[in-house]
Structure 1
Amino acid sequence: MTIHTGDYLLDHAKAWSRDGLGVALATVVQTWGSSPCPTGSQMVINAKAGFEGSVSGGCIEASVVSESLEALKSGAFEIAEYGVSKEMSFAAGLSCGGSVRVMLEVLDDALLAALSGPRPAVRIVDMRDGKWTVVRGEAAMGRLPADGDMIARAAKVLSTGRACIAEGCEGGDCFYQPLLAPYRMLVVGAVRIAQILAPMAAEVGFHVTVIDPRRAFSTDARFPETDMVREWPDKAVAKLGLDAQTALVALTHDAKPDDMALGLAVRSDAFYVGALGSKRTHASRVARLREAGYTEAEIGRIHAPVGLDIGARTPGEIAVSILAQVIAARNGRA
């Protein structure tokens, strides 16, 4: 399964490292049965027992933190196994009945730099001793030697976006971890819905940029942790670009800026295009776009009224419905 966590775990790790704290990385490398977090799920843990992320949804995090603290003290690499049995308590096992293997390693400067490097890439880890290499294209960099077969397998892993275990590493098992560029969400209109949507989208792995030339709307106080572009949408979207990992959501409810952005989006590779407005508003929008020369297929790409039909009325509810629809599109369900 492709994991969409964005860069927030690395951001926390970097901040802790700057503060002089040791940091450990915990990664789910294998699951059996019912497990709340799929292969590739991660946590970062600092030397004061602070942590971010999840490897089980809450069942084993306390144990993972405890073992990570030991790993930070010893510098040791470890594969820990957690499961459920009659003898195991909820504090140390998966209450859902599954089992999971978690890789624990010290997140030192070299590994942090490798994970923060250009993407896409694949990290290959020898599960016997923790040696790793990062493959970008045909090049590999790290202490683990990578032969042609390993590089070819890394390319396959990258094409699926799914972490996995495979043979290699001189006869031992290797863990292949895809390092993907984050999905992006361009939100046109620094309105109340955008204030709620932006942080939620960031939590599920989107790098969010809000676009609005209106200075009264696009203030840092209203969007303290979101990238802002204070330009008209036609210029901003052209600069930022629209690719197959980008969603565009038009929320100004103003024909001029919304149409600017939508016109570019429907002729791009963006995986999702949505626009706020009632059915009547969208009918007027469709007429304008037809008159401007857009085809029925292009206009038909616009999700409008935007969001899943959950009866949303408030800005918060609308934001939830939008994010749900975007996630569905990202996962091939819309």
Structure 2
Amino acid sequence: MDSLDLQVLAQAREWHAAGHAVWLVTVLETWGSAPRPPGALLALRGDGLVVGSVSGGCVEDDLIDRVRHGERVGRPSLIHYGVSKEEAARFGLPCGGNLRLVQEPLAGTGWIDEVLARTGRHELVARVLDLETGEVRIEPAARSEQFSFDGRLLRALFGPRWRMLIIGAGQLSRVLAQMALALDFEVICCDPREEYHLTWEVPGTAFSRQMPDDLVLELQLDPHSAVVAVTHDPKLDDLALLEALKSPAFYIGALGSRGNTAARKERLRQFDLSPAEIDRLHGPIGLHIGSRTPAEIAVSILAEVVAVKNGVGLTQKKDGSAVPAPADGAVCAAGLR
């Protein structure tokens, strides 16, 4: 899911409460180079106002035109764009692109209330729409799930599928947390030092004063989890890394120079970690973009995290940096995107 989807739902609820007719439009399937992925969401008001996106713009224009000319569906209905090359070009789809949507009238907003409340508690939920009856129900979801459509039931996820554990609560961590939230990560910061706990003020994040290794074990890190250690204190960073490197977390990185990274790996070799586990460590952390300020360093870290998440090669690294070899089956190939 995308944070934009929650904004779309909140706006649709507001329009409905004000007495407007509202339709939700969801991308069901794409073929070729379609602009938006399955699950992308748009809300369309009866007078043509829209929020959200299902394409590069031309499809939205056509949906608005349909509503303004009286095409107002009363039950979930399928719409298909880009059947021919000419139509694909007309609607701004790359050559060969196809896009199938479902448009549904918003009859009630109780389920939106539930989605917004539960995602506000950092829960991951699925909205299930029955295209034959128009009924909607909200169910718990697992991080491993993706958007699905079987011809009748649409199952869309809302809430954070991806999770980031930040070790250390300094200035860099605060900026990093804010940016990670914007990328739809659930963010947890861990720092047992009282002076850092008292100054942590990042709305939307969770904070733990546990020892990092204890928290890593408690969280049961999965392939949708990232760990970023940025305290510069080996007593804290290394404790987290010792446990995280044994986990299936898709990304594990630690702040430090190439010399510090080499020294850290030597320390880790003194414990019960295999060479392959130690080699999973990303260090120095982040892509090489000439970053200097905390915000720039946070950008470089998140760029690397996103690249690994999406199965993209880390070509922009400093010479001599430790770059873990891709695991068998990249993240995206494993269906975890």
Match of residue 146 from structure 2: 161
Q: Secondary structure at the match of 1:291?
A: coil
Q: C-alpha distance in 1, partners of 2:277/2:145?
A: 28
Q: Is the 8 A contact 2:258 2:283 kept in 1?
A: yes
Residue 200 of structure 1 is matched in structure 2 by 179
Match of 1:322 in 2: 301
Structure 2 Cα separation of the partners of residues 55 and 183 of structure 1: 22
Residues 251-283 of structure 1: per-residue CA shift (max 9 Å, x gap): 112111111211110122212111111111112
Q: CA deviation at 1:308?
A: 2.8
Distance 1:184 1:13 in 2: 22
Could you say if the C-alpha distance between residues 63 and 236 of structure 1 is closer, same or farther in structure 2, counting changes exceeding 3 Å?
farther
Please state how far the C-alpha of 1:217 moved relative to its aligned partner: 3.9
| Alpha-carbon distance in 2 for matches of 1:51, 1:201 | 27
Q: Which moved more, 1:324-333 or 1:18-27?
A: 18-27
Distance 1:191 1:61, change over 3 A: farther
Could you say what secondary structure the match of 2:37 adopts?
Answer: coil
- Is the Cα–Cα contact under 8 Å of residues 193 and 316 in structure 1 kept in the other structure? yes
Question: 1:268 and 1:215, CA in 2 relative to 1: closer, same or farther beyond 3 A?
Answer: same
Measure the CA separation in 2 of the matches of 1:69 and 1:204.
34
For 1:301, the equivalent position in structure 2 comes to 280
Q: Indicate if the aligned counterparts of 2:5 and 2:40 stay in contact, CA closer than 8 A.
A: no
Percent of residue pairs bearing the same amino acid type = 36
Task: Please report how far the alpha carbon of residue 246 of structure 1 lies from its aligned counterpart in structure 2 after TM superposition.
Answer: 0.9
* Structure 2 residue aligned with 1:179: 157
Quick one: which amino acid aligns to residue 100 of structure 2?
A: R
Aligned to 2:315: none
Match of 2:191 among 212, 217, 221: 212
Counterpart position of 1:277: 256
CA distance in 1 between partners of 2:83 and 2:184 (Å): 30
Q: Distance in 1 between matches of 2:68 and 2:111?
A: 18
Which letter maps to 2:266? A
Structure 1 residues 214 and 223 mapped into 2: Cα distance closer, same or farther (>3 Å)?
farther
* Alignment CA distance shift 1:45-1:195 (3 Å): farther
Q: 1:313 to 1:265 in 2, by over 3 A?
A: same
Give the gaps of 5 or more residues in structure 1. Answer: 138-157, 167-172
2:44 & 2:203 partners in 1: Cα distance?
Answer: 25
Alignment of 1:1-334 (within 5 A): 4-5=1-2, 9-10=5-6, 13=9, 17=13, 20=17, 24-44=23-43, 53-61=52-60, 64=63, 76-82=75-81, 93-94=91-92, 96=94, 98-107=97-106, 108-109=108-109, 111-112=111-112, 123=128, 125-126=130-131, 130-131=134-135, 161=146, 163-164=148-149, 166=150, 173-174=151-152, 176-177=154-155, 179=157, 182-218=161-197, 222-333=201-312, 334=326
Specify the code of the residue in structure 2 equivalent to 1:240: L
The answer for unaligned runs of 5 or more in structure 2 is 313-325, 327-337
RMSD: 4.3
CA contact (8 A) 1:211 1:231 kept: yes
TM-score under structure 2 length normalisation: 0.69
Count of residues paired in the alignment? 302
Could you say what secondary structure the match of 1:237 adopts?
helix
